[in-house]
Amino acid sequence: MTSIMTKEIIDRIFKEPGIKYESTEFEGLGKPIHEILAIYPKTAETGRDAGKTKYYLKSFIP
């Protein structure tokens, strides 16, 4: 997933800009949050969520 799509998903999660930009967890890392995180979709195959798209998060910070 591209960082542009990740940015769009982050914008949807943090609808209020104040919340997104006040997050201190990503301060001082030298990159915007959408370049640090990767959000990717995966369709659930089993259980009550079978067939639904779920989003997972991967961080590039060691």
Report the first-to-last Cα separation within the chain, whole angstroms: 20
State what percent of residues in the chain have pLDDT above 70: 69
Q: What is the pLDDT of residue 43?
A: 92
Radius of gyration (C-alpha) of the chain in whole angstroms: 14
pTM, entire model: 0.47
Average pLDDT over residues 18-31: 67
Average pLDDT over residues 6-32: 70
Q: Using CB atoms within 10 A of its CB, is residue 35 exposed (0-12), middle (13-18) or buried (19+)?
A: middle
